[in-house]
Structure 1
Amino acid sequence: MTRGHKVDGRGPVRGTIIAGLALALTASSLMLAGCSSDKDAFSGKGSPIYPGDGPLPKGGGRYQIGKPYTVAGQRFYPKADPDYDKTGVASWYGPKFNRRMTSNGEWFDMDYLSAAHTTLPLPSYAKVTNLENGREIVVRVNDRGPFVNSRIIDLSKKSAEALGFRKKGKAKVRVQYIGRAPLDDKGTHLAAMNTELHRGTSLNTMIAAADRRTSGGTPTMVAKAEPNKRPASSKPQGAPVTIASLSGQAAAGSGSAGTNAVVQPAGAGFYVQAAAFSDPDNADRTRAQLAPIGPVEVAPLSRGSHTLYRVRVGPLRDAGQADQALRQVVAAGHSDARVIVAAN
């Protein structure tokens, strides 16, 4: 990828100068499946390397939108677009850019849930959904790119792993802008954002909910999609989840948390969260619709000055039953349903 160019006059971005970019982009190496290829023409060039050893510092940098810029004849217009919601191809980048400076002055950690985007504000949050298997995460957008073909986002290695396409190199995804990310986050706020995602919190209230979670010192539960065991020819209908407990300054997707199996904390049960409604009548109708699947509860949740009514199926006795119920809920029309673990 070509993150690293001085596209807006505000500092270094990965790569060589724009003057040589148009020619370089014609190289056949950029037609490869993923940014992890050894033939990437821009790998590891032009951006400062973190001078120390050990873990990279999280956060820092600066808020940046930037002026319009042109790369390889294509004009890009960075802006804060609260309605940004696009579908396209995602790729990933990793070792050759690891520990190098991003476009807004942070340090790229390939084992962190981060991403590069051509126009979204830096740093910001985006929800990324792999449309090929149903997995979804929240990433911290802190870099510019990709500038190759029709790709709309470039994800860190860890993000690609979480979404289940690292080995494949590319995937069809949906990218939804959430809002600005805090500059000084050491990982706990991003972890809280992923907790709220898997609790079913709406995108327009997710940052506020994460603020409350981190300011209160509440341990964070991060849900990540498991590998989908379904044959490749079948239609994706969602995925089971793994649960990892994070607290303190642990970062979502740091590589130190998470397992390969669903873990049920003591005193907790499995639920399938179907939806949340502002209208209690809609919640009641959904409860009636899902009643044949199993026990269904409607619970009010205060969100500032208004109340949402959460509909979920459960408690369910184990992960297998939860996964089966999830598929039934998705088949009933609730495509955003997800498995959660909560106190009984």
Structure 2
Amino acid sequence: MAARLLKGVMIAGLLSLLAACATGARPDARPIPVVTDPAPIVSGTMRPYQIRGRWYQPEEQPDYDETGMASWYGDQFHGRPTATGERFDMNALTAAHKTLPLPGLVEVTNLANGRRIVVRVNDRGPFVDGRIIDLSRGAADALDLRRAGVGEVRVRYLGRAPRLGGGQVLQYAEASPAPPVPAATPPPQPGPMTQPQSRPAESSPPAPARAGVWVQAGTWADARQARRAADHLGGSATVEEAAPGQFRVLVGPWPDAGAAERSRRAVISRGYPEATTISGV
């Protein structure tokens, strides 16, 4: 009798310890949502499909837990139907994944700062090598990776999503908060009635270089195309006239070459392979 009682006490103590470890690991975190009335998997979203010559096989993946690169999408798709038929809301906490059940819930952690959210997966994508999830603009903002364009994240599948919503912010803690980077603004252009009079070259002092390192996404002969590129990149992307009839898109400024190089790679990944870093623009 005493042995059974001692065994029961030991088991209860072990369970209490495990519970304390599970709840004490993230004292500032909100609990993972519990879905009691899951939405059914949308018909047709679990069939194999082909994109750009590559086949994808959606399937149940209860143990899905991967680390990789995340990107985000916003204005261009706002209001359009997703793979589930839901309307894409760029400000909601949603995401696209290539093979997880739809709709589903995943936990996404930004490995650069520890921010952690739950998003509703209701779309397919991203179809770019090396990326494992495409976040809504709202989700990218919550993780603080929208300005960089892409970021390394951990994605963990939680299961089926509720009939509505399901996204929430779990943790805003930052491991190493970065100082805010001021947005770049194009220099004022003189109007047609205020063009400066020409002067000898030796009497014209050079324009002071602007501090920081910049990423030049590319140059365009059409100002409207340059503006569309800047809108696509978002964040601190701006357009300025580099030469008569030539418009360039700049992202920055960044405080050092390392930060600028990370931004350059992010710009390249968003479809601008000629992006380069420049200083003193």
TM norm structure 2: 0.46
Larger Rg: 2
TM norm structure 1: 0.38
